[in-house]
Amino acid sequence: MSVIDETHDPRRESWVTSAKGHAEFPIQNLPFGVFSPSRGAPRGGVAIGDEIFDLRAGLEAGLFSGDAARAAEAAAGATLNPLMALSSGPRQALRKRLSALLFADNPERARIEALSAQLLHNASDCTMHLPAAIGSYTDFFAGIHHARNGGMRRDPNNPLSPNYKYVPVAYHSRASSVRPSGVAIRRPNGQRKLPSEDAPSYGPCRKLDYELELAIWVGPGNALGEPIPIARAGDHLFGLGLFNDWSARDIQQWESQPLGPFLGKNFGSTVSPWIVTTEALAPFRVPQPARPAGDPRPLSHLWDETDQREGAFDIALEALLMTEGLGAKGLPPHRMSASNTTDLYWTVAQMIAHHSCNGCNLAAGDLFGSGTISGPTTAGYGSLMELSNDGTREITLASGETRTFVEDGDEVIFRAHCRKAGCAPIGFGECRARII
């Protein structure tokens, strides 16, 4: 499943100066995204340090051939869907070629560097777009600590519903309202009714929350009626990003009985613009943590020994909050929580296998949210619902301000990094958005 090759070599450095030791995008990462230069149309690119490598310009300069050219052509347009639909062979060929082109000891370096004005754009001059045309977006519920924290209010003795350890629970959400990082989200109006109120009313959300999630980008799809077997499910993952499933808790709490989330969730979601590929993540695969004693073994269509051995990821996540008060005092964003993708109860392959097990067809560019990834203690709670105990516990920021839910003008920022001894650390860039 995980191929580790010269592209992951921690000694490999790029001739792109800003990429050396870059916290997010060293030469070992090479994530894909869609960007526009200051004057130009949206196109596919690869982040390298503080620069973006322009795949269209690379094709025009004749830098790719064979499978790598096929993948670069598929990645060079206004969406990455054609690249996502390809098998891992061409993707790996493109990754190897990009790594070789950007490598400081590349024999072609002088020729490539001479082209750098065409090939590279300063990322700060560019606008990032959604990386794909998202046909369908599904939100899972695989963060078990979040699921348990949410269920505690319902039934403290049985916070998890009886299906939780058998079914990777999910709901279909709204693809059309997903926005790239940096686009402000408007506080939704809706019908809400607090338990203390006699009647519902319509008005602005009073419990606006964020949810710290992984963005899971589907690669090659499956035909309707043909389930993806668990042993092949990993081949259908293109890569990962960060996802904020903005949630209007008061609207959600009133409307969700009995059909689940609707207007409390679909008014806007934020996704990070760079997709860290399964190839880049190969060194950071880990075993799926063993289920606690007494938990059921997944049914056979969700069980695969290889997936259990290396199907999880070790990705450190953090959620930060920037407020006007912090900004006025020159203070940095307040760190709200830190958690890890090993806090997920289900692997990505299990989510893919489950989603298609009834024959449902997935397509390249489909997006999954993992579900809120909370750690086991308060320090890891990935939503304000959990941190503030549904608004009953105030969180004090370094500015002296307090929060229970998100206020207008607040900006929520997610970051993620993979770190492991003997590997170059890589990051995901930011997933950020301000509430207006």
Q: How far is the CB of 175 from Ca ion (least distance, A)?
A: 14
What are the Cα distances from residue 146, in Å, to 44, 137, 265? 35, 20, 16
- Structure token digits, residue 43: 């196109």
From the list 210-218, 294-302, 354-362, 407-415, the region that binds Ca ion by CB under 5 A is 210-218
Nearer to Ca ion by Cβ, of 159 and 229: the residue is: 159
Distance (Å, rounded) from C-alpha 314 to C-alpha 337? 17
From the list 206-214, 222-230, 273-281, 356-364, the region that binds Ca ion by CB under 5 A is 206-214
Closest-by-Cβ residue to Ca ion is: 245
Nearer to Ca ion by Cβ, of 43 and 207: the residue is: 207
- Residue 209 interacting with Ca ion (CB under 5 A): no
Q: Which of 245, 255, 279, 304 binds Ca ion (CB under 5 A)?
A: 245
Distance (Å, rounded) from C-alpha 340 to C-alpha 359? 31
Nearer to Ca ion by Cβ, of 28 and 173: the residue is: 173
Q: How far is the CB of 256 from Ca ion (least distance, A)?
A: 12
Binders of Ca ion among residues 295 to 324 (CB under 5 A) are none
Looking up tokens 């097990």 gives: 357
Strands 178-180 and 269-271, how do they pair? parallel
Among candidate residues 96, 69, 97, the one with its CA nearest the CA of residue 83: 69
Q: Which of 13, 24, 209, 211 binds Ca ion (CB under 5 A)?
A: 211
Question: ∠ at Cα 288 (261, 166), nearest 5°?
Answer: 45
Tell me which of 146, 236, 334, 354 is the catalytic residue: 146
Q: How far is the CB of 66 from Ca ion (least distance, A)?
A: 41
Distance (Å, rounded) from C-alpha 220 to C-alpha 110? 37
Nearer to Ca ion by Cβ, of 140 and 284: the residue is: 140
What's the distance, CA 351 to chain centroid?
A: 15
Question: For Ca ion, how many residues bind (rule: CB under 5 A)?
Answer: 3
Looking up tokens 């045309």 gives: 133
Binders of Ca ion among residues 19 to 48 (CB under 5 A) are none
Nearer to Ca ion by Cβ, of 211 and 304: the residue is: 211
Nearer to Ca ion by Cβ, of 68 and 431: the residue is: 431
Q: Give one DSSP letter per residue of 265-313, joined into a string.
A: TTT-EEE-S-BEETTTTGGGEEPPPPPPTTPPPPPGGG--HHHHHH-EE
- Residue 139 interacting with Ca ion (CB under 5 A): yes
Distance (Å, rounded) from C-alpha 171 to C-alpha 230? 20
**11-39: b or e for each residue (b if 16 or more CB lie within 10 Å)?**
ebbbbbebbeebebbbbbbbbbbbbbbee
- Residue 386 interacting with Ca ion (CB under 5 A): no
Q: How far is the CB of 145 from Ca ion (least distance, A)?
A: 13
Q: How far is the CB of 207 from Ca ion (least distance, A)?
A: 15
Q: Respond yes or no: is residue 146 known to be catalytic.
A: yes
Q: How far is the CB of 192 from Ca ion (least distance, A)?
A: 18
| Active site residue ranges | 146
Residues forming contacts to Ca ion in the complex (CB under 5 A) are: 139, 211, 245
